[in-house]
Structure 1
Amino acid sequence: MWPGRGEYGYNIRMRGAYLFLALLLTPAAAPAYPGDARLSAKLKREFETAISSVPAGRELLGRLEKAGPGYKALRVLVRRDPSDSLAWFSSDDNAVYFNSRFILKFFAAKKFKDREVVEIMRGNKEVRTEFVKYASPVFLHELVHALQCYLYPEYRRDAGGNPLEFEYEAYLTEDIYVHERMKAEPSLLKEFVRGAYTDVYTANAFGSYLALSLDPARYREKIRGLYEDGLGGYLSIDKAERKKKNDVEDSRIFALAAGKGREYAAGSAALARLEDQKEAFAAFLKEFYAGRWPAFSADALLFVGGIALERKNYPLALDCLAGADANTAKYGLSPEATEALKTKGALAVLEAASFIRDNRKKMGVEVLSQHLKALEKACLAASRPFPGDLGALRAETYPKAMAYYAEKYGSEKDPGRRDYYKENLDYFAASTGPVTAP
């Protein structure tokens, strides 16, 4: 049995800051182990129990059952992979794979081979229970990809890449699932928000959940940036269709001249399938978001913002609750939700300003600058004046913050952290004056 998991603190500096880990639809070549089948059956059953505890999970499981025989045969396997993927769904193997590197990290265990990991998890219910408790959002995310492959089995082959829009469905489903679980039992979220606990699976789940906004376009843009710009290999359904159409048109004259009419016909058939599947999935995704947004986002922001206020995480509270600005009406919020956000947002501004006044001398430059930045952005969003007595402190702190993030950005190698440092460097530089980044 592995040693007990260690808990360690985590200071939330910004919502979604370098918490995302890749969740890819990539096939995996892996040898079979004697314990695979029994572990798969146990994990699948135990994950189903966890997922079915809330409506979003039950809805997904119901859709999987209706999608044909694929889900009944789906396996849950454990394999090591050098990538940063926590898990992935392989359509070739009809299996959800969990990366054993992160399982070992979760349990603070080292130097175990995959065969040993499989046997330990197969034979130890306590280990599986702990794993399932924290990793169920990841499993649910991959089940969405499994369902997509069952419903649109030829899309990835015809498109020549992973469909970006599949992630829009997977993340929203996962975030709703996390929200429902946290509302039922918020203790994990409270510990995470106050910086008392995290692990690789919790950080991944909350990295998306805490990055919610009232604007669905902004929400999807974060996902697009992560997958299309960051990871690569992802194409929007529009780009995939245009690319396939150009490929087919370019190949027509050469195929006919070379007597390869069958290849051209196959390409044309693939394009027709792609167009049909694009239309079907686009219609589904539009309806999927319309039926859940903005009621879900408003409820989640109020819920998380309230917990952040309670735990005195003011940057997070302000980010959640100060979103009811002049553009709120266009998102279709109910009058009650709008008023609740405005009321709690005003309270967050007052509490944050008071907290800064009382604790300014105890804060380092990073913590102080993040509080001032969050307060400034909240005041701008709500068309409120920035507290006059904090103006001098802001003017004094921002140049220091600019220098701090310039140094961090210049020395950091990790891409996610570099993005975080660059974002802050740009913000404080814009408020301070011109700067040349390292």
Structure 2
Amino acid sequence: MRTLLVALALAFSPGGAEAYPHDAQLSAKLKKEFEVVISSSAAGRELYARLAKAGPGYRALRVLTRRDAADCFAWFDPEANAVYLNSRFILKFFEARGFKDPQVVEVLWSNKEVRSELVKYAHPVYLHELVHALQCYLYPEYRRDAGASPLEFEYEAYLAEDMYVHERMKADPRLLKDFIRGAYTDIYTANAFGSYLALSLDPARYREKIRRLYEEQLGGYLSLERAETIKKNSVADSKIFAYAAGRTKAYAADSASLARLGEQKAAFARFLEEFYAVRWPAFSSDALIFVGSLALEQKNYPLALDCLAVADANSPGYGLSAGALEALKTKGALAVLETASFIRDNARRMGVELLSQHLKALEKACAATARPFPEDLAALRAETYPQAMAYYAKKYAAEKDRSKKDYYKENLDYFAGAAGGK
């Protein structure tokens, strides 16, 4: 399938034509085909219902493909009322190079098989941008009021995407199984599952990673609370000058802007409170047990231990039946036993990274569930952790990518602390 885009593109001239003659036709096709896929889930239908209630914006929404150097798969442009799919990543997905945007538009418009392949794997990314479209329809003046993009909009978009992914994987787990056991991945799938698994394991860390990405790395994002504070200070400082200069209309407009920010801040606070108080416990337990069970089945022991141990530790707040709770604890115990056995059988054939991650997951799971760490693996752990510390220190020092550097630093800190305490 990946070679299909290349073969078809040869039929079109590679010149840098400025016109995109099939933009409108491709937009209509992509919009319809994405909607068919997304609407097959309850979460997707809920989003489309909210879009319909938000006014005429969605009916006029366009779906376009354009190249952008930014490290994003897609974006929503409120001025154009369009979701843009980054053609740079489309070409990466199809393992194609050297094609201009007009060619990408032509191929996607003219060939349903290629288009279907893209829709099949990119629909979570598109849904994420639909959430941003909805936010802009509901709060059309936010960016002008705040002078930046709201960080909370990203929290909502990621939460919506991840709950959607969970629902789809529960209905058909084949893709997730393949991903967990390392049998299949692509850039869209890795992006969707990476976010989904992070949310399932640790919501606080999940939100902090989003904050760091958008506030510190990308820039131009501001929390609603910070935006309100800045606007409040600005309005307070300008009041006396506005009246002295006869600029009361400008002051009134700023005051109205501040009021809107306050309303939006309160609305999002209610959304997050409702999500974590009402929807999160059920979603978290279901996702952790579901993913942990699949990971155990596919023998991805670090992921299985992480999920099942967190689910076990948090189980008092899940409201599980006695039978479900017993099944969870049994499955968690099985994961510990299987992991320990796997390490015993394969330790000398595993590299330091793989071995250390298995030992780390086993150690954390035992600590979280008050189980003793296997005594016969204690010496191997003591031998491996200093090696892992040196390995991750070297990786951390050489890495330039921020997310990878964070991962290496997290592991360096863990193994340094654990090695020092042994």
TM-score (norm 2): 0.92
Q: Aligned residue for 2:195?
A: 208
Which residue of 113, 125, 139 maps to 1:138?
125
Q: Aligned residue for 1:3?
A: 3
Aligned equivalents of 1:75, 1:35: Cα separation in 2: 12
Aligned equivalents of 2:200, 2:107: Cα separation in 1: 41
Which residue of 388, 393, 406 maps to 2:380?
393
Q: Aligned residue for 2:263?
A: 276
AA in 1 matched with 2:93: F
Aligned equivalents of 2:2, 2:333: Cα separation in 1: 48
AA in 1 matched with 2:3: P
Query: Contact between 1:365 and 1:401, CA under 8 Å: does it hold in 2?
Result: yes
Query: Contact between 1:306 and 1:317, CA under 8 Å: does it hold in 2?
Result: yes
Which residue of 347, 367, 373 maps to 1:380?
367
Which residue of 149, 155, 168 maps to 1:162?
149
Q: Aligned residue for 1:16?
A: none
Query: Contact between 1:100 and 1:114, CA under 8 Å: does it hold in 2?
Result: yes
Does residue 402 of structure 1 match 2:373?
no
Between 272-281 and 414-423, the greater mean CA deviation after superposition = 272-281
Which residue of 295, 309, 312 maps to 1:322?
309
1:209-224 superposed matches below 5 A? 209-213=196-200, 216-224=203-211
Aligned equivalents of 1:328, 1:157: Cα separation in 2: 44
1:354-433 superposed matches below 5 A? 354-433=341-420
Q: Aligned residue for 2:320?
A: 334
Change (3 A) 1:268 1:32: farther
Structure in which a larger fraction of residues adopt helix: 2
Q: What secondary structure, in the 3-state scheme, does the structure 2 residue paired with 1:3 have?
A: helix
Give the Å deviation of 1:338: 4.3
AA in 2 matched with 1:238: E
AA in 2 matched with 1:170: A
Aligned equivalents of 1:4, 1:341: Cα separation in 2: 45
Q: What secondary structure, in the 3-state scheme, does the structure 1 residue paired with 2:83 have?
A: strand
AA in 2 matched with 1:334: L
Q: Aligned residue for 1:80?
A: 67
Query: Contact between 2:288 and 2:311, CA under 8 Å: does it hold in 1?
Result: no
Q: What secondary structure, in the 3-state scheme, does the structure 2 residue paired with 1:417 have?
A: helix
AA in 1 matched with 2:320: S
Give the Å deviation of 1:175: 1.0
Gaps of 5+ in 1: 7-30
Greater relative CO (CA pairs within 8 A, separation 6+): 1
Q: What secondary structure, in the 3-state scheme, does the structure 2 residue paired with 1:98 have?
A: strand
Give the Å deviation of 1:153: 1.2
Does residue 171 of structure 1 match 2:164?
no
Which residue of 97, 110, 114 maps to 1:123?
110
Gaps of 5+ in 2: 7-17
Which residue of 240, 243, 249 maps to 2:227?
240
Which residue of 68, 71, 79 maps to 2:58?
71
AA in 2 matched with 1:3: T
Give the Å deviation of 1:227: 2.5
Deviations 1:316-363 (A, max 9, x none): 11111101455543x444345544433222211111111101110110
Pairwise CA RMSD: 2.1
Q: Aligned residue for 2:97?
A: 110
Query: Contact between 2:67 and 2:87, CA under 8 Å: does it hold in 1?
Result: yes
Q: What secondary structure, in the 3-state scheme, does the structure 2 residue paired with 1:96 have?
A: strand
Stretches of 4+ moved more than 6 A in 1?
Answer: none
Q: Aligned residue for 1:33?
A: 20
Aligned equivalents of 2:19, 2:37: Cα separation in 1: 27
Change (3 A) 1:392 1:99: same
Give the Å deviation of 1:32: 6.0
Aligned equivalents of 1:370, 1:194: Cα separation in 2: 15
Query: Contact between 1:158 and 1:270, CA under 8 Å: does it hold in 2?
Result: yes
Does residue 299 of structure 1 match 2:291?
no
Aligned-residue sequence identity (percent) comes to 73
Query: Contact between 1:96 and 1:142, CA under 8 Å: does it hold in 2?
Result: yes
Aligned equivalents of 1:209, 1:121: Cα separation in 2: 28
Q: What secondary structure, in the 3-state scheme, does the structure 1 residue paired with 2:71 have?
A: coil
Across the two proteins, how many residue pairs are aligned to each other? Answer: 409
AA in 2 matched with 1:360: A
Q: Aligned residue for 1:349?
A: 336
Between 180-189 and 280-289, the greater mean CA deviation after superposition = 280-289
Aligned equivalents of 1:194, 1:340: Cα separation in 2: 23
Give the Å deviation of 1:71: 0.5
Aligned equivalents of 2:297, 2:164: Cα separation in 1: 23
Give the Å deviation of 1:306: 1.0
Query: Contact between 1:324 and 1:338, CA under 8 Å: does it hold in 2?
Result: no
